[in-house]
């Protein structure tokens, strides 16, 4: 079976992608130093896939150790997740984000060239679009504007690094997947999002408030120019996102010549923060203790994906609903709190 290196493979999106890779006949090899991942997820992951997993506990910024891993294996391709991802934290600690997110990518690219691994799927983000000026539905041709956060800027710069490296090393075949907002968990409740410390993403904050781990959910801002005053996002089930990575690897395998594509991965539908809260309460029967707070620095008002390119290029589209994601996330939250 073909081996795929998955950096950050013990994290939220990475762990679900490992499941999709195995289900599609690939052998994922994980590199993760567990600074942003919980080893509990690995135990659930092994149970879910019913096999042992090869995991290197290594910092992806460590070029020497990464080279050793590339020397031990013949990789068909690389899926690069490993990065810091909290918008708010990046505003407070920009250098932390620039150092980790950019250096890890450059180490991966250098190792790929040295060992003639020519397929890369990069974990990018819709944050590269910044605050859309006109249409809130963005496609890949929508001009990138100044990112609203250092995190978003690291994704912009990373895409530019990949494009420049592709020009210098034409052998490279790359897909930058621009994620919208991943939510949910595996339907088995064996793996899901496991934040270290206080959650930075909305849905874990919702589920932890519902179960009593957190006292109150704060909705950041109620005066945005949207239908209910709260931010609007395109929430995509994490298993749909995981499947998009496998489709991207498959796409790259079929390419006879060099390529460097950017592809949106979302549902094409915007949902406000209040709509998500209301839907969670109706689907789970759990009332949430929440209140409005001030706007959060770095947040975009409204954005959702045009996903026609993903359908055309990858033959991929989302199959799970937001309701599915909320139910699966709640089942996961109950599972990890039942121990």
* Catalytic (active-site) positions: 151
CA distances from 98 to 60, 105, 126, 272 (A): 14, 11, 18, 30
How far apart are the two ends of the chain, measured CA to CA in Å? 36
Rounded Cα distance, 231 and 79, in Å: 30
Which neighbouring-strand residues pair with 260?
174
């Amino acid at each position: 079976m073909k081996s795929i290196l998955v950096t950050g493979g013990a994290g939220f999106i990475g762990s679900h992608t490992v499941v999709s890779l195995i289900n599609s006949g690939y052998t994922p090899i994980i590199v993760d130093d567990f600074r942003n991942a919980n080893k509990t997820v690995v135990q659930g992951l092994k149970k879910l896939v019913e096999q042992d997993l090869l995991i290197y506990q290594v910092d992806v910024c460590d070029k020497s150790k990464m080279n050793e891993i590339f020397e031990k294996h013949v990789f068909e391709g690389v899926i690069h997740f490993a990065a810091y991802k909290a918008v708010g934290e990046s505003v407070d600690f920009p250098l932390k984000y620039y150092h980790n997110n950019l250096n890890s990518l450059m180490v991966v690219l250098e190792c790929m060239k040295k060992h003639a691994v020519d397929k890369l799927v990069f974990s990018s983000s819709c944050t590269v679009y910044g605050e859309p000026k006109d249409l809130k539905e963005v496609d890949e041709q929508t001009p990138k504007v100044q990112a609203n956060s250092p995190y978003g800027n690291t994704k912009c710069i990373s895409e530019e690094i990949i494009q420049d490296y592709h020009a210098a090393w034409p052998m490279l075949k790359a897909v930058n997947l621009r994620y919208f907002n991943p939510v949910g968990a595996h339907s088995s409740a064996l793996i899901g999002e496991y934040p270290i410390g206080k959650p930075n993403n909305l849905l874990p904050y919702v589920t932890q408030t519902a179960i009593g781990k957190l006292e109150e959910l704060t909705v950041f801002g109620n005066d945005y120019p949207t239908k209910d005053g709260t931010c609007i996002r395109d929430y995509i089930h994490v298993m749909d996102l995981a499947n998009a990575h496998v489709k991207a690897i498959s796409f790259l395998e079929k390419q006879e010549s060099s390529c460097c594509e950017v592809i949106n991965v979302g549902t094409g539908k915007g949902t406000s923060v209040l709509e998500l809260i209301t839907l969670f309460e109706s689907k789970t029967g759990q009332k949430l203790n929440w209140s409005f707070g001030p706007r959060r620095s770095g947040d975009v008002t409204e954005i959702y994906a045009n996903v026609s390119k993903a359908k055309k290029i990858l033959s991929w589209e989302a199959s799970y609903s937001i309701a599915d994601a909320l139910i699966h996330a709640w089942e996961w939250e109950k599972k990890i709190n039942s121990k």
